[in-house]
Structure 1
Amino acid sequence: MPLFLILYIRSYAKHKKNHLLEKEHMRRKFESEILQARIEVQDQTMQTIATELHDNIGQLLSLTTLTLNSVNLMDSEKAEKKIGNSLSLINKSIKELRELAKLLHGEQIVENGIGYALDQEINWLNKTGAYEIEINNTLVDLTEKSPDKDLIILRLLQEIINNIIKHANATTITFNAYYEEKILHLQIKENGIGFDYDQDAIAPSGMGLNSIHKRIEMINGKLILNSSPSNGTNILIEIPYP
């Protein structure tokens, strides 16, 4: 009995130590994933800002310069109209710069809640004018918060949007985001060319699917993806929340 008791205590201590080591490994892995997601969100934000500065604000300011350079003070009526147009362009540029300033504070966007963060990301996509977008986001009023999960959810949305832009050839995109029975639901549906899910999931690049699966597993979520060639793609993500 004493020998059995000693062996049992040693075995228990070993299992406890292994369990603690496993928990520590999982904690470090999760923290590493959060850091990676934060860096990727910031990188995506910088890319969006660079594009916006070049394609939108740069063009607005160039157009303002051209308009002002064409002002003929001898023709007071036309001059007044062109100056008025220039002021409108400048005011629009200021508004766009304020929106960019908000985007620079990526962490604060997430702190304002996942509904707000998703809204900001979808609005930037909508501003491109490349897609007909339908949004149903009831998470804006959600009082529950989970900053770490929110960061990963935001990065998931960014990855999915990037995949649509690069691969889907879609013209319409529908976003549904809602909260029901402690589960956060995020659905993205587009009418693009679709793909063979089984084949692309095992491909080396996986169209980003491996990364998406990995992140969903990190937050104990569930992915339901339906797609086939020529029939678009429907993605549903379910995440225990908060």
Structure 2
Amino acid sequence: MNQANNDIRLLVVVGIAAMLLLFISILLIFIFTQRKKIQYQQSLHALQQSQQFQMIEAAVRSEETERHRIAEELHSEVGALLSSAKLHFRMLKLDGEIKDNKGLYEKGNELLDDCINKIRDISHSLHSHILQEFGLNEAIKHFADKIAHGSVIKTATALDPTYTTTLLPQKDISIYRIIQELLNNTIKHAQPNEINISSTYEKDSLFIIIKHNGVGLTQPIFEKLRFTSSGLGLKNIQTRVNLLKGNINFSRSSDHYYIQIYIPKT
């Protein structure tokens, strides 16, 4: 009798152990399957993100290439034609009936001068030759000086001299375009009379601050505007910052607005 009871107990224990082992096996298989599923989803997300960045980078490169092409055409073809037209103006003899149109001649000559200068400015802006030849700091300084309008807008730069250039010229071009777009937007919408640009370069990471006394943006307003049809410029800025794996933040103090840009080491 005792032997039978012992056998029954043994069978029960073995059965319970087998059930526990089966349960643990099923649980482990479930956990392993879920982990594999999560890893697959993470890999798929990383691949999609990588593809998205590659597409954005290709679009930025394409945009920069197109800028250079337009700049070359403006400078070499259209600029040359306008210069030739101006030369013909100068060769006109102001006598006879033409003398009565001297005012029209002078006005036409003045308009040609303005047009040639404008095309030269557009060409330089598109081509960013200063950036390529002298580096990011000099390009920022040059652009800041160009947008200053005497007593209307004063600009100042305090850029970290230890930042010279990166191994990726496309990175500097993207940073320059970000600052260029931000300054254009600031002048157009914030209407400041003082703009200060400073930078710090530490551990291969670049930190840029644009400070102005206009009516600027805060981060919540920036997040709202960049998803509207009128916020295309802001969306382009955010896209370029994302491409550089950096971040941008808009804030304000009692009397100034700040745009902080962080570009990490890549």
TM-score (norm 2): 0.57
Amino acid at match of 1:165: I
Query: Aligned to 2:142, which of 107, 123, 144?
Result: 123
Identity rate, percent: 21
Instruction: Say what the alpha-carbon RMSD is for the aligned residues.
Output: 4.7
- Larger mean CA deviation between 3-12 and 58-67 belongs to 58-67
What runs of 5+ residues in structure 2 fail to find an aligned partner?
Answer: 1-20, 95-115
Aligned length in residues: 215
Letter matched to residue 188 of structure 1 = I
Cα displacement (A) at 1:185: 1.2
Bigger relative contact order, structure 1 or 2 (CA pairs below 8 A, ≥6 apart): 1
C-alpha displacement of 1:21: 0.9
Report the Cα offset of residue 25 of structure 1.
0.7
Alpha-carbon contact 2:143-2:180 (below 8 Å) kept: no
Q: Distance in 2 between matches of 1:166 and 1:142?
A: 30
Aligned to 1:12: 35
Which shows bigger deviation, 179-188 or 117-126? 117-126
- CA distance in 1: counterparts of 2:197 and 2:73, whole angstroms: 25
Check if 1:173 corresponds to 2:195.
yes
AA partner of residue 183 (structure 1): S
TM-score between both structures, scaled by the size of structure 1: 0.61
Q: Is the 8 A contact 2:207 2:262 kept in 1?
A: yes
Highest CA radius of gyration, 1 or 2? Answer: 2
Deviation (angstroms), 1:48: 7.3
Q: What amino acid is the match of 2:54?
A: E
1:26 aligns with 2:45: no
Q: What residue identity is the alignment partner of 1:233?
A: Y
Q: 1:224 aligns with which of 233, 243, 249?
A: 249
1:32 to partner: Cα distance: 1.8
Return closer, same or farther for 1:109/1:39 CA change in 2, 3 Å cut-off: farther
Counterpart position of 1:212:
237
Q: Kindly provide the amino acid, as one letter, of the partner of residue 235 in structure 1.
A: I
Give the aligned partner of residue 58 of structure 2. 35
Matched, 1:187 2:206: no
CA contact (8 A) 1:201 1:210 kept: no
Q: Which runs of 5+ in 1 are unaligned?
A: 72-92
How far off is 1:17 after superposition? 1.9
